[in-house]
Amino acid sequence: MLESKSKKDSKTTKEVKVKKVTKAEVARIKALFLEHYKDAKTELNYRNDFELLIAVMLSAQCTDKRVNLITPALFEKYPTPKALSGADLDSIKECIKTCSFFNNKAENLKAMAKEVCERFGGEIPLEREALKSLPGVGQKTANVVLIESKEANFIAVDTHVFRVSHRLGLSSASTPLATEEDLTKAYKDNLATLHQAMVLFGRYICKAVSPQCTECFLSHLCKSKTTYRC
């Protein structure tokens, strides 16, 4: 999801110095996330790994709410990798035209399905490097799929996770991948649940603009309310 830019709150991580958390604070943050979001799950709707991968690919720079409006008709029309791989590209575009960057996403969906059929026997590979070898699938997308499908001990850094981790001083890295490394080292385990927790926390409480600080269970540990973008 893209963040709004305001005059007051437009600095990047390169311009803002945020005090880093102590080990004790990391442990407290982790414990509070697990307490408040122990059953956290993605808000994307899906019924199998194929649908999950499509939904995650569509969610890049698009809201989960919008993706959930798009996918029912798409899944009904193309229920398998074989069906999607043989689909007319313009028909795919028509199905997802209300999604951001729908032209590129349509091409990637068709190419992904073709690769799944030709290289993986029509089954979505549930190993990170194999997933990353598919068109349109980077590390963030692969991690999200594995987190949701297998509860793999990974964390994926989207806009929400990037912002939350920097506001809390868990990372000062300038890229999502480097931030992922920082969070993995800090948390070590329970990464799947912590990923989902940070996404929901960033979406509904630690918002980019007008964060809900009075409702925040981590306000006493917050280092900055600056908007961070990735």
User: Is the pTM here over 0.75, yes or no?
Assistant: yes
Q: What is the CATH number of the domain that holds 118?
A: 1.10.340.30
Question: Would you say residue 37 lies in a domain?
Answer: yes
Question: Would you say residue 201 lies in a domain?
Answer: yes
d(CA 20, CA 206): 18
Find out whether 37 and 196 touch, Cβ atoms under 8 Å: yes
Kindly report the length of the chain. 230
Q: How many domains does the chain have?
A: 2
pLDDT tier, 20 (very low <50, low <70, confident <90, very high otherwise): confident
For residues 111 and 199, state if they share a domain: no
Q: What is the CATH number of the domain that holds 200?
A: 1.10.1670.10
Average of per-residue pLDDT across 79-86: 98
pLDDT tier, 18 (very low <50, low <70, confident <90, very high otherwise): confident
Question: Would you say residue 105 lies in a domain?
Answer: yes
- Of 128, 150, 172, at which residue does a domain stop? 150
User: 152 to each of 27, 43, 196, how far by Cα in Å?
Assistant: 21, 18, 12
For residues 54 and 145, state if they share a domain: yes
For residues 72 and 128, state if they share a domain: yes
- pLDDT of 78 reads 98
Question: Would you say residue 71 lies in a domain?
Answer: yes
For residues 143 and 188, state if they share a domain: no
Q: What is the pLDDT of residues 26-72, one digit of tens each?
A: 999 999 999 999 988 999 999 999 999 999 999 999 999 999 999 99
For residues 141 and 158, state if they share a domain: no
For residues 179 and 143, state if they share a domain: no
Catalytic residues: 140, 158
Closest by Cα among 161, 176, 164 to 206: 164
Question: Would you say residue 219 lies in a domain?
Answer: no
Range of 160's domain? Answer: 23-41+153-205
- Which region among 32-46, 104-118, 122-136, 214-228 has the lowest average model confidence (pLDDT)? 214-228
For residues 166 and 98, state if they share a domain: no
For residues 57 and 83, state if they share a domain: yes
Residues placed in the known binding site for [4Fe-4S] cluster: 206, 213, 216, 222
For residues 146 and 158, state if they share a domain: no
User: Whole-number mean pLDDT of the chain?
Assistant: 91
Q: What is the pLDDT of residues 166-200, one digit of tens each?
A: 999 999 999 999 999 999 999 999 999 999 999 99
Question: Would you say residue 87 lies in a domain?
Answer: yes
Question: Would you say residue 168 lies in a domain?
Answer: yes
For residues 111 and 53, state if they share a domain: yes
Question: Would you say residue 200 lies in a domain?
Answer: yes
Residues placed in the known binding site: 206, 213, 216, 222
For residues 191 and 114, state if they share a domain: no
